[in-house]
Amino acid sequence: MKNSQFDAEEKEFQREIASALDQLRANVGPCPHPDQLMAAAAGVQFTDADAVGKHSAACPVCRELIRDLSSHEYPSVSDEEDRRIRARLAAATGGRGTPGWWTSWWRPMPVAAAAAVAIILLITGALVLRQPAQRPGDAAKTVEPSRVPPAVARVAFVLEKAAIKVPAAAALVYRGDAESGKNFLNELASALEPYRMDNYTEAARRLDALARKYPEYAAPYYYLGVSRLFLSENEPALAALNTARRLADDSLRDDVSWYLAIALERIGRSEDARREVEGLCGHAGEYQQRACASVKELGR
């Protein structure tokens, strides 16, 4: 049972419905998590999807929850979410932006229309060639006015939540080789709970304690650094990430490097930040596209 912190009035309500709960309780097994219920209902294939589907078919409470959640009006994509999605698109496409009006404009063009357009372009080109040479200052006013929407222009050093990865120590535990590693993983999982919930203050507190207890592991320092970045505590973030770099094996090296670059850029060490992203850009990996887009943007 989780600690959901019921207040006194809620506890009283729970007591009031307890007998009704007991009377109405049906023996169809434990209810899966709502996220799993909804995923199975949406047709997502995952390990327990069949079992979850069978349960919800038999459980009236879960069926009702699925029906109610399916009709729930979730808020639209916010401006902030929209900005982040566009930034991801821009980063993943190497800062080229999204296919603009021109892409769809030429595609369905019939041959005759294409020929007409080509003629117009030729005539226009000829007229342009007859114009006086541009002044240097005019150059920036021309060329590709709308390929990259303003909202996607900023792609460098965008802070996104780092995915939780299984540390290398987990492999040892999984093979049953290290009892102390198992303890560490259990404590790491607990320390990462607030991180999962975007509670970075609590995450930083727990991870800081964990890092002191297990100074030989990189993961606590890494997630501590990322949490501190979300709290805009950039100097402590840098210190944690530097330690993580010293301890990290290959599986975490690029992750640490990316967040180090963000920390360095935030405290004004732009050249060091550039070196980090250039390193990431130089080899294939999860951060390559983002890093190359950052390098490109810094070069503007």
Partner 1 sequence: MQSYESVYRKHRNAVMRFAIQCVGSRDIAEELTAEAFLELHRHWETIDTERLPSWLFTVVKNRAADHWRRTELERRYFASEPSRPEQPHAPVVGYGLFDNQALKPIHRICLTLRYVHDMSLGEIAGRLGLSEVQVKGHLQYARGLLRKQLSGEAGK
Contact positions with partner 1 (CB under 8 A) in 141-200 = 149, 161, 164, 166, 170, 173-174, 182, 185-186, 188-189, 197-198
Structure tokens at 35: 């996220």
CA distance 210 to 188: 7
Helices (H), 59-167: 60-71, 79-92, 101-106, 111-130
Residue 226's contacts (CB-CB under 8 Å, 6 or more residues apart) are 161, 162, 195, 237, 259
C-beta closer to partner 1: residue 83 or 296: 83
Residue choice 50, 54, 57, 103 for contact with partner 1 (CB under 8 A): 103
CB of residue 54 vs partner 1: minimum separation in angstroms? 12
**Cβ partners under 8 Å of residue 231, min gap 6:** 200, 201, 204
Minimum distance between the CB of residue 134 and partner 1, rounded to whole angstroms?
A: 29
Q: How far apart are CA 193 and CA 207, in angstroms?
A: 10
Contact 247, 217 (CB under 8 A): yes
Q: Which is nearer to partner 1, 1 or 126 (CB)?
A: 1
The DSSP output letter for 108 is T
Contact 279, 142 (CB under 8 A): no
Looking at residues 198 to 237 of the shown chain, list those that interact with partner 1 (rule: CB under 8 A): 198
Nearer to partner 1, 21 or 122 (CB): 21
**62-101: which residues touch partner 1 (CB under 8 A)?**
64-65, 67-72, 74-77, 81-82, 84-85, 88-89, 92-93, 98-101
8 Å CB contact between 181 and 169: yes
Total residues contacting partner 1 by CB under 8 A comes to 83
We find the least distance from the C-beta atom of residue 300 to partner 1, in angstroms, to be 22
Report d(CA 212, CA 206) in Å as an integer.
10
Please select the residue that binds partner 1; options are 8, 15, 79, 107, rule is CB under 8 A: 107
- CA 68 to each of CA 31, 38, 48, 49: distance values in angstroms, whole numbers, following the listed order: 16, 11, 22, 20
From 68, 70, 72, 51, select the one nearest 60 (Cα to Cα). 68
Question: By C-beta, is 70 or 134 nearer to partner 1?
Answer: 70
How many whole angstroms separate alpha carbon 287 and alpha carbon 80? 22
> Which one of the spans 51-59, 228-236, 261-269, 278-286 is the region binding partner 1 (CB under 8 A)?
51-59
- What is the CB-side half-sphere exposure of residue 248 using CA atoms within 13 A? 22
* Closer of 13 and 119 to partner 1 (Cβ): 13
What's the closest the beta carbon of residue 216 comes to partner 1, in angstroms? 19
Q: State which of residues 48, 50, 235, 249 lies at the interface with partner 1 (CB under 8 A).
A: 48
Interface region with partner 1, contact rule CB under 8 A, candidates 6-14, 116-124, 216-224, 237-245? 6-14
- Pick the closer one to partner 1 by CB: 48 or 235: 48
What is the smallest separation between the CB atom of 283 and partner 1, expressed in angstroms?
21
Q: Could you give the CA distance from residue 95 to residue 296 in angstroms, rounded to a whole number? A: 8
How many angstroms separate the CA atoms of 257 and 280, rounded? 8
Of residues 236 through 295, those in contact with partner 1 by CB under 8 A are none
Q: Could you say which residues in the range 14-43 bind partner 1, by CB under 8 A?
A: 14, 16-17, 20-21, 24-36, 38-39, 41-43
Binding status of residue 134 toward partner 1 by CB under 8 A: no
Q: How far is the CB of 269 from partner 1 (least distance, A)?
A: 29
